[in-house]
Chains A and B, each alone.
Chain A
């Protein structure tokens, strides 16, 4: 397994797509987490204009508080249920699906490792990259928060160790679940395009539509409450991210489920996606 992880780290590490997607997340995270909010805070003159478009009239003190270092664990996670999740889903789908298009799975499977070991190598390498991505995001968020605090002469309070662990853990769980979903779709469709398309439509469109319809059809609510996106949004909501329904809320964040239930559900989805990917890889004929 270690040999397979090393092989996959080499090829994923040199894949421009990996860096483009990870870089996009880091830029989006900083832009929506700090840049826009800080610009909004700085231009908040109590009138209209740019400030109100972004903060929807939130008091300046509230905006500034959200930019302080002790809020970094929340800021890190708040964008993951929807945008971060979508990006890592794309990465997972492309990392696995492209191998069928290029014929590289065929080459790898005839090189020696068991199919499950080879797929385990991909999952392991993606997992390592995911840990790196979340940690780098956290560090960049800390840098941004301390910069804002220094610029605004605010006291610099570090996030507590417990809050940091909670934020990092929640972020990892959300991203791992979406990435595993992408891997499963890439395996299922044996190609990158359909896997990415289906994944994005599900995570960005279908779940939101279902939640909308659930307001009209009561029984459907039971289903929407246990969807992957609901679980991801709920864990972000549980650690303090502002829910979507709030004027200053973040898309995808909700409090439908409690933190523990959301974490368990996310873990369940993660395991189910991984198990399905491994089972499909092990059992199906490789004809491309």
Chain B
């Protein structure tokens, strides 16, 4: 397991009465793509802003590449795109990057390399205000890539991109991670996270609900069985895989076993005189796991608020 390069401990941010981020402790390891998942308003962007020193925490602490957030030494090794690209509308894409390159004491070579990476060289001379949303987003990613940073913090990087652009962006992020760059990616697009992230952290109502690999978060796959008579099928299945792994749901059986045992299960049921009409894998998607967790968290959050209001 590679070394952690970004850690937070009980990171908290309160805006007046509103608790935006509530004791978030997360760890991002070198060369991984870490997906920071959460619904809109969950506290993702505020957390990322704190990691970049744009917003000061109310409590807790964070270390980014061995430095406190916002430290120039740390920022010099980080590339970031936070809540949409912010550029000078009257400058061309290239000149916008040149301004940032001057701030970072980089040359024009770095500017051209970044433009090339996001496939924006052809339109780099056009004014930023004339760019489509997708081009603006790509310029934002180009700005983040200036100077070949060790850590990329990207807040919803595929916002505004068309399907082809989204696929290109995913490929780019994966390629960067393969080259050893670490990516912390916030998103509410579960498919995107599932495709490119090694690990995920799920935040809802300001709280980090879980932090694990994508596979662990999805949990073990299961099998769905539709058979008749159901009572016999259930007994046979429980005898085969154990009672704890069998659940009856809406006239079907759910078995917490892998697909490699599907043939054995089918054969056993048939030999026991059960008519089997359907056996298929029931993969739990990241989306299932995500909604399960966030709905639960939001229900709890609302209940807590209700208690606070009534007490």
User: For chain A, what secondary structure do more than half of its interface residues adopt (helix, strand, loop), or is it mixed?
Assistant: helix
Residues of A with C-beta under 8 A to B44: none
Q: Is the CB of A16 within 8 A of B88?
A: no
Interface residue A114 (Cβ < 8 Å from any Cβ of B): yes
CB within 8 Å for A113 and B90 given contacts A106-B54, A285-B54, A287-B49: no
Tell me the nearest residue of chain A to B52, going by C-beta: A110
| A216 CA to B146 CA, complexed, in Å | 62
CB distance from A197 to the nearest CB of B (A): 21
Q: Max chain A CB contacts within 10 Å: which of B52, B102, B104?
A: B102
CB distance from A20 to the nearest CB of B (A): 12
Contact of B86 among A7, A16, A106 (CB under 8 A): A106
CB within 8 Å for A108 and B100 given contacts A114-B72, A286-B49, A287-B55: yes
Interface residue A4 (Cβ < 8 Å from any Cβ of B): yes
Q: Is the CB of A110 within 8 A of B82?
A: yes
| A286 CA to B53 CA, complexed, in Å | 9
Interface residue B156 (Cβ < 8 Å from any Cβ of A): no
Tell me the nearest residue of chain A to B95, going by C-beta: A14
Interface residue A112 (Cβ < 8 Å from any Cβ of B): yes
Q: Is the CB of B105 within 8 A of A107?
A: no
Interface residue B297 (Cβ < 8 Å from any Cβ of A): no
Residues of B with C-beta under 8 A to A285: 49, 54-56
Q: Interface residue count for A (Cβ, 8 Å)?
A: 29
Q: List 25 A-B contacts (CB under 8 A).
A: A3-B103, A4-B102, A7-B102, A8-B99, A10-B95, A11-B88, A11-B91, A14-B95, A16-B90, A102-B86, A103-B83, A104-B86, A104-B88, A106-B82, A106-B83, A110-B54, A110-B78, A111-B103, A112-B103, A113-B72, A113-B103, A113-B104, A285-B56, A287-B54, A287-B55
Interface residue B35 (Cβ < 8 Å from any Cβ of A): no
Residues of B with C-beta under 8 A to A14: 90-91, 95
CB distance from B125 to the nearest CB of A (A): 13
Tell me the nearest residue of chain B to A117, going by C-beta: B72
Residues of A with C-beta under 8 A to B76: 112
Interface residue B180 (Cβ < 8 Å from any Cβ of A): no
Residues of A with C-beta under 8 A to B83: 103, 106
Q: Is the CB of A104 within 8 A of B87?
A: yes
Interface residues of B (CB under 8 A from A): 49, 52-56, 70, 72, 75-76, 78, 80, 82-91, 95, 98-100, 102-105, 143, 146
Q: Is the CB of A111 within 8 A of B104?
A: yes
CB within 8 Å for A107 and B55 given contacts A6-B102, A10-B95: no
Q: Max chain A CB contacts within 10 Å: which of B53, B78, B84, B146?
A: B53
| A112 CA to B77 CA, complexed, in Å | 8
Residues of A with C-beta under 8 A to B55: 285-287
Kindly list 15 other residue pairs between chains A and B, CB separation below 8 angstroms, not including A107-B85, A110-B54. Answer: A3-B105, A7-B102, A11-B88, A11-B91, A15-B88, A102-B89, A106-B54, A109-B53, A110-B52, A111-B75, A111-B143, A111-B146, A112-B76, A121-B103, A285-B55
Interface residue A118 (Cβ < 8 Å from any Cβ of B): yes
Residues of B with C-beta under 8 A to A287: 49, 54-55
CB distance from B70 to the nearest CB of A (A): 8
Tell me the nearest residue of chain A to B84, going by C-beta: A103
CB distance from A2 to the nearest CB of B (A): 9
Tell me the nearest residue of chain A to B140, going by C-beta: A107
Residues of B with C-beta under 8 A to A16: 90
CB within 8 Å for A108 and B72 given contacts A14-B90, A286-B49, A286-B55: no
Closest 10 CB pairs of A and B: A103-B86, A7-B102, A286-B54, A110-B80, A107-B86, A285-B55, A7-B103, A112-B75, A112-B76, A111-B103
CB distance from A39 to the nearest CB of B (A): 37
Q: Is the CB of A4 within 8 A of B103?
A: yes
| A111 CA to B103 CA, complexed, in Å | 7
Residues of B with C-beta under 8 A to A3: 102-105
